[in-house]
Structure 1
Amino acid sequence: MSPPGIAILGAGIFAKEAHLPAIASLGRSNVELKAVYSRSEKSAEQLAVDAQGILKLDAPPTVYHDENKDSNLDILLARKDISAVIIALPIVTQPSIIRKSLASGKHVLSEKPVAPDVAAGIDLIREYNENFKGKGLIWRVAENWEVEPGYHAAADIIKAGKIGKVTSFNARVVNHVPKDSKWYKTPWRTIPDYQGGFLLDGGVHTIAALRVILPSPMVSLSGYASLNLSYLAPQDTINAVVKSKDGSHGIVELTWGAPVLSRASEAQKGISITGTEGWIWIEQTTIGDGQQIFRVTVKVSEKNEKGEEIGETKVVLDEPVKGVEEELRRFLNAIGGEDDGFGDPYGALKDVAFIQAALNSNGAPIDLEKLVEY
């Protein structure tokens, strides 16, 4: 049986630096890149050249773009040998392309966030459930932190009761985005026409990680949002206090507006989970060979036969950063009938809801569950 033929829609940084390597890691026996699309011919052609090199293809995938009606997206989506698409386009563009792709009978893996806001996400999910899901079409959201092995390792430790009952948590992201950053130079990020700017684009990652790690869903939020670097409008910083359904609570700190690089580079960034018997710390770091990993450090109370605390035990797990490869593998498995539920659009909607609530709370509590009802 031949591998599924796919196309990448979007020729930006992430398509080249993340999706192409993920396709390469899975191998041509599992997936075959047949086409690439971008609004401009130049960017599509460059991605095709990059794909040929990274995937070691005999010839570049076919190029499609909007500068010629004979090679536009509609022509690509009409191809019978392409069964699925990866959509990596600007946030406000994606919903219409998701709809168009599903209507063309293609399975869809669309980059996070699921939509620019909760209302648009609900409309999109409702339309998928009513018109396309029953036809066997798979739509998953490419949220790589939801499937990172490091976060799943932490979740498994908590589920096994190793740190006791979870009582509190903290997530801290501190970034400095200079004007010469390759991410800031992306036109649709420079002048965003969606809520939150980098907070929506990047912040959903952290919320997805918490969604996987915590044993109970986050249900209430009270927070504040602000703009610290004027060129990162509309907001670049969120601080929120959160409550989970099981009564545990935590603090989520997200900023892309650190004033100088040292504020970001010297900050202790990561996720901590505290329980009645110990705690877990998860951070992304680089090991000696340059490999990016998630390091999971577990410290638990050590007790004697009388139940008296006599110290701590420490366990450190290193898991490779491979979320983009994992999300693609799981997407392909879902197409093949083995769906594990990860990448579900409704889960991704909850991540958007958290960011939206934090942007609009201004100190007032917001019911996160009610926000995503439909």
Structure 2
Amino acid sequence: MAPTGIAILGSGIFAKEAHLPAIAAVGSSVVTLKAIYSRSEKSAAGLAADAQSALKLDSKPDVYYDAAPNANLDALLARPDIVAVIVVLPITTQPDIIRKALAAGKHILSEKPVAKDVASGLKLIEEYEKQYKAKGLIWRVAENFEAESGYQAAARAIKEGKIGKVIFYNARVVNYIDQSSKWYNTPWRTIPDYQGGFLLDGGVHTIAALRTMLPSSFKTLSGFASLNKDWLAPHDTINAVVQSADGSHGIVELTFAAPTTSRSERAFNGITITGTDGWLSVNQVKVIDGSRPVGGLRVTVVTAKRDKDGKDIGETEEIIDKETDGVPNELRYFIDAIGGSDNGLGTARGALQDVAFIQAGLTSNGTPINLEKLVS
């Protein structure tokens, strides 16, 4: 089978630092990067040069940008050798680009979040399902936490009953964002025109991880949001209590406003899920492979041991380490779906649940919000 011809739409940090390495990891026998699009020639050409180096290409991918009448986005989308596009653009820019690419008959892998809010996400999803899904066009949302082998391993452990029935859970993400951070110093993040700021852009990752592992969908949320650093407007912190459809419940703490780096470093960030017969945790770790630090996820699974009378007699512990691989995996799954083998990950409706959680956390102000109703 010939490799799938793809283009990257967008030339920012994540396109360079995550998607190019993912394309390299998946391999040229599976995908071929044919073109780069950005609003400006300079940014598109810069990523094309990076791509030639990272992918060891004989020549640079073709460059497309808005001011070129014969080499703009419309011209790129008209190319029959480009079967699919990876959309890595600002949150509020993506929906119209997705619509344009679908109308051109392209399969799409678009970066999370699926939209700036639930209403616009629902509208886009309904358009896709009514007009393009039946034509065989694949649209997946690139939520890399959902595709991480570590979170998938944790989900399997829960499904296999290693911790019994889930009864409660908690997720904690305490981040320190400095104004010199590369993630802050992009214009669309510095002055966000979407709800939640970093909470939407980054917070959906944690919700996606929970959604991937928990056996039941979120049902009701009550929480509070606040702004604690003016330059992280409109909000930088959410604390929420949530109940799942199966009756289990949890606490979710998300902030990008830690006052010092130590507050983040010593926060014990991660996710813990407790069941009737044990518990598991998932934490980010770095493992030294030779002289190279490798980022990954460590899943700790603790199972209660009981005698024939049900008396506790100890516990067993299993450690599962998985190297970070979410972005290459989501690309592999996307290409598989185009070829007719779909594992069900990366759906737009799944990603909409993550946006709904953040939106509810921002707007609840203590009032319970029905998350199932919100996404319906």
- State the superposition RMSD in angstroms: 0.8
Residue 49 of structure 1 is matched in structure 2 by 49
Give the Å deviation of 1:315. Answer: 0.8
Number of the residue aligned with 1:314? 317
Match of 1:23 in 2: 23
Q: Which amino acid aligns with 1:365?
A: P
Name 1:154's counterpart in structure 2. Answer: 154
Alignment map for 1:323-362 (pairs within 5 Å):
323-362=326-365
Query: Structure 1 CA distance, aligned partners of 2:256 and 2:65?
Result: 33
Letter in 1 for 2:264: A
Cα distance in 2, alignment partners of residues 129 and 27 from structure 1: 31
Q: Which residue of 1 aligns with 2:128?
A: 128
**Residues 1:247 and 2:250 are matched in the alignment:** no
Q: How far did 1:42 drift?
A: 0.7
For 1:325 and 1:15, the matched residues in 2 are separated by 12
Instruction: Quote the offset at 1:307 in angstroms.
Output: 2.9
Map of 1:264 onto structure 2: 264
Partner residue in 1 for 2:89? 89
Give secondary structure in 1 for the equivalent of 2:140: strand
**What is the DSSP-based 3-state SS (H/G/I as helix, E as strand, rest coil) of the residue aligned with 2:70?**
helix
1:320, CA displacement in angstroms? 1.2
Give, in whole Å, the separation in 2 of the partners of 1:255 and 1:69: 44
State the one-letter code of the partner of 1:232. L
In structure 1, C-alpha distance between the alignment counterparts of 2:109 and 2:312, rounded to whole Å:
49
Partner of 1:219: 219
Give the match's secondary structure for 1:43: helix
Work out whether 1:13 is the aligned partner of 2:13. yes
User: How far has the Cα of 1:306 moved from its partner?
Assistant: 3.7
Give the drift of 1:255.
0.5
TM-score using structure 2 length: 0.98
Given residue 357 of structure 1, which amino acid in structure 2 is its aligned partner? A
Give distance in 2, aligned partners of 1:137 and 1:163. Answer: 39
Number of aligned residue pairs: give it: 373
Following the alignment from structure 2 to structure 1, what is the Cα–Cα distance between the partners of residues 334 and 118? 23
> What residue number does 1:369 align with?
372
For residue 292 of structure 1, what is the amino acid of its counterpart? G
Unaligned 5+ runs, structure 1: none
Partner of 1:207: 207
Unaligned runs of 5+ in 2: none
Q: Which amino acid aligns with 1:74?
A: D
Q: Percent identity?
A: 65
CA distance in 1, matches of 2:117, 2:165: 33
Report the Cα distance in structure 2 between the residues aligned to 1:142 and 1:74, rounded to whole angstroms.
23
CA distance in 2, matches of 1:266, 1:308: 36
| Match in the other structure for 2:62 | 62
Counterpart CA distance in 2 for 1:161 and 1:340 is 22
Residue 182 of structure 1 aligns to a residue whose secondary structure is: coil
- The offset of 1:341, in angstroms, is 1.3
- Counterpart of 2:105 in structure 1 is 105
**Bigger shift: residues 299-308 or 37-46:** 299-308
1:138-188 CA-to-partner distances (Å, cap 9, x unmatched) read 000000011111111111111111111111000011101000000000110
User: Where has structure 1 moved over 6 Å in runs of 4 or more?
Assistant: none
